[in-house]
Chain A
Amino acid sequence: MYPKDLKYDKEHEWVRLAGDVAVIGISDFAQDQLGEVVYVDLPSAGDEVIAGESFGEIESVKSVSELISPLSGEIVEVNDALGDAPETVNEDPYGDGWMLKVKVNDPAEVDELMSSDEYEAFIAEEA
């Protein structure tokens, strides 16, 4: 449920770093807590994201949540397919449900995020 090759933050985002580009999405735990996603509001390519700050919103029928960026950098690509098919976030949170690709300012920021095991322990503690 929490792939080993990803990093996680306390806001339930995951990060997959390749070179200096990070793919960002929300964890399986987060999508399950939200329920069926009906709307994802994302920024545009070229926008800046800042670690710890909101980059968008995600809504299920019953609730709305801020999407908090786990790192800082410039957005190079946005998953526009989520506009028409927001439910992809539920169906494939680590694959087609990705949200942003970000050229990170400092790859070391990613190292500071939680490992899969640490994240799992974090969730167990929260629940």
Chain B
Amino acid sequence: MTDELLRTPLYNEHLAMNARLVPFAGWEMPVQYAGVIEEHKAVRSAAGIFDVCHMTEFRFFGFEVLEALQRIVTNDLVKIAELGSALYTVMCDEDGGIIDDLIVYHTGDLEYLIIANAANHQTDWDWITAHLPADVEAVDESDRTGLIAVQGPMALHVISALAGSTFELPGRFHIAEARLGEIPVLLARTGYTGEDGVEIVCHAGNAVAIWRLLLSFAEVTPCGLGARDTLRLEMGYLLYGSDMDRGVDPMSAGLGWVVPKAKEGFIGAEAIARIRQSGPAHKLVGLEVSEGVPRHGYAVLHDGTEVGKVASGTYSPTLGHGIATAYVPVELAAQGTELTIAVRRKEVAATVVRPPFVKHTSLSALSS
């Protein structure tokens, strides 16, 4: 990786809107426009848009593509046999260490699209292509692909207005071709905020036009990575690099649900089965704290002894207090367990809870 920060196709739009730009995973990204809390609340109450063009997109095709990807990811792609369906998964090394989390979209006949973390772009490419048979084609489409997330209870209203009255929106965890105005896109009914909405996959050259189309709606607020982080943590969604990495297996991370018991023959299967059998020594838990803001790396204590560190921590704008995740010994992972977090000079009370921290959103309304 070079020292030069990469810029998304929307960089000049962010500058023009006085966004605060910060380095993130090798990219120069907007952390906020008007303010993290304001943007957060806009997504929970109306609609927010996020520049996530930095993310990684790979496309795979060939007759053996299903078998090849089945060997790489932990979740079972048979669940997305239907064209247009999508699946959240991780991929692991032989020891069960998580290399990345991703969404696999079944975009076409013998064809899949994978969207993964920007920080793992090269690692993922190297890992996947090293484990792919020669006659399965892999294409790194990241550079020419733009990605804009539109999230919030008003998101679909905006998308419907742009896609036309006859357009039928894809269902949750589905993807479909659409035209926004005259621009051809893929609309993925996925996201990282806990709200209903879509992620618009487009040609990088059309990202600015789509961004401007979206902003022409009064209910749409541009949002930075700051709000993206508070929104995802309120839902208990994991962030690679904070909540999981190569040193963590899916069972410890609470991701057993993306490793179906019946599936065999994928990388890490034996190691994960052993951990599932014996039970992990540590587990990722949610913590609600009484005061202060817990942050990554702060010590988590039980009876005065350090038992773990905060993985992700922030202030929850919806709840009005601090929330965190942390790996703690399994015997301290039960709901209601009282721990403390060393928030610098103070030790504050922290109670183990089961995420999501925020229970009611436009997405939870959808599935109930």
Is A36 interfacial (CB 8 A cutoff)? yes
CB within 8 Å of B: which A28-64 residues: 35-36, 38-39, 41, 57, 59-62, 64
Question: In the complex, what residues of A have CB within 8 A of residue B230's CB?
Answer: 61
With most chain A CB atoms within 10 A of its CB, the pick from B36, B38, B346 is B36
Give A89 Cβ to nearest chain B Cβ, in Å.
13
Q: With the chains together, A62 CA to B317 CA distance in Å? A: 12
Contact A39 B315 (CB under 8 A): yes
Q: With the chains together, A36 CA to B226 CA distance in Å? A: 11
Question: In the complex, what residues of A have CB within 8 A of residue B20's CB?
Answer: 35
Q: With the chains together, A72 CA to B226 CA distance in Å? A: 36
Contact B292 A41 (CB under 8 A): yes
Contact B292 A36 (CB under 8 A): no
Question: In the complex, what residues of A have CB within 8 A of residue B36's CB?
Answer: 35-36, 60-62
Is B8 interfacial (CB 8 A cutoff)? no
Q: With the chains together, A41 CA to B322 CA distance in Å? A: 14
Contact B37 A39 (CB under 8 A): no
Given contacts A41-B346, A61-B226, A61-B314, contact A35 B292 (CB under 8 A): no
Question: In the complex, what residues of B have CB within 8 A of residue A64's CB?
Answer: 293, 295, 344
Contact A36 B295 (CB under 8 A): no
Given contacts A35-B35, A36-B37, A64-B295, contact A57 B226 (CB under 8 A): no
Contact B346 A38 (CB under 8 A): no
Partner of B32, one of A35, A39, A41, A57: A35
Question: In the complex, what residues of B have CB within 8 A of residue A39's CB?
Answer: 291-293, 315
Partner of A38, one of B31, B32, B315, B344: B315
Q: With the chains together, A12 CA to B310 CA distance in Å? A: 30
Q: With the chains together, A4 CA to B315 CA distance in Å? A: 35
Question: In the complex, what residues of B have CB within 8 A of residue A57's CB?
Answer: 344-345
Question: In the complex, what residues of A have CB within 8 A of residue B346's CB?
Answer: 41
Q: With the chains together, A61 CA to B39 CA distance in Å? A: 12
With most chain A CB atoms within 10 A of its CB, the pick from B20, B32, B314, B315 is B315
Q: With the chains together, A64 CA to B293 CA distance in Å? A: 9
Question: In the complex, what residues of A have CB within 8 A of residue B345's CB?
Answer: 57
Q: With the chains together, A36 CA to B35 CA distance in Å? A: 7
Interface size class of B (residues with CB under 8 A): 10 to 19
Given contacts A36-B38, A38-B315, contact A62 B344 (CB under 8 A): no
CB within 8 Å of A: which B43-93 residues: none
Question: In the complex, what residues of B have CB within 8 A of residue A35's CB?
Answer: 20, 32, 35-36, 226
Question: In the complex, what residues of A have CB within 8 A of residue B292's CB?
Answer: 39, 41, 59
Question: In the complex, what residues of B have CB within 8 A of residue A36's CB?
Answer: 35-38
Give B105 Cβ to nearest chain A Cβ, in Å.
31
Interface readout for B148-185 with A: 1 if CB under 8 Å, 0 if not? 00000000000000000000000000000000000000
Contact B315 A59 (CB under 8 A): yes
A60's nearest neighbour on chain B, judged by CB, is: B36
Give A44 Cβ to nearest chain B Cβ, in Å.
14
Question: In the complex, what residues of B have CB within 8 A of residue A60's CB?
Answer: 36
Question: In the complex, what residues of A have CB within 8 A of residue B291's CB?
Answer: 39
Give A2 Cβ to nearest chain B Cβ, in Å.
20
Given contacts A35-B32, A35-B35, A36-B37, contact A61 B295 (CB under 8 A): no
Question: In the complex, what residues of B have CB within 8 A of residue A62's CB?
Answer: 31-32, 36, 226
CB within 8 Å of A: which B324-343 residues: none
A54's nearest neighbour on chain B, judged by CB, is: B345
Interface readout for B286-313 with A: 1 if CB under 8 Å, 0 if not? 0000011101000000000000000000
Q: With the chains together, A100 CA to B293 CA distance in Å? A: 22
Given contacts A35-B32, A38-B293, A39-B293, contact A61 B344 (CB under 8 A): no
Give A91 Cβ to nearest chain B Cβ, in Å.
12
Known A38-B315, A41-B292; 9 more pairs at CB < 8 Å = A36-B35, A36-B37, A38-B37, A39-B315, A57-B344, A61-B226, A61-B293, A61-B314, A61-B315
A residues apposed to B, CB below 8 Å:
35-36, 38-39, 41, 57, 59-62, 64
Report the 3 A-B pairs with minimum CB-CB distance, sorted nearest first.
Answer: A61-B36, A38-B315, A36-B37
A-B contact pairs, 29 of them (CB 8 A): A35-B20, A35-B35, A35-B226, A36-B35, A36-B37, A38-B37, A38-B293, A38-B315, A39-B291, A39-B292, A41-B292, A41-B346, A57-B344, A57-B345, A59-B292, A59-B293, A59-B315, A60-B36, A61-B36, A61-B37, A61-B293, A61-B314, A61-B315, A61-B317, A62-B31, A62-B32, A62-B36, A64-B295, A64-B344
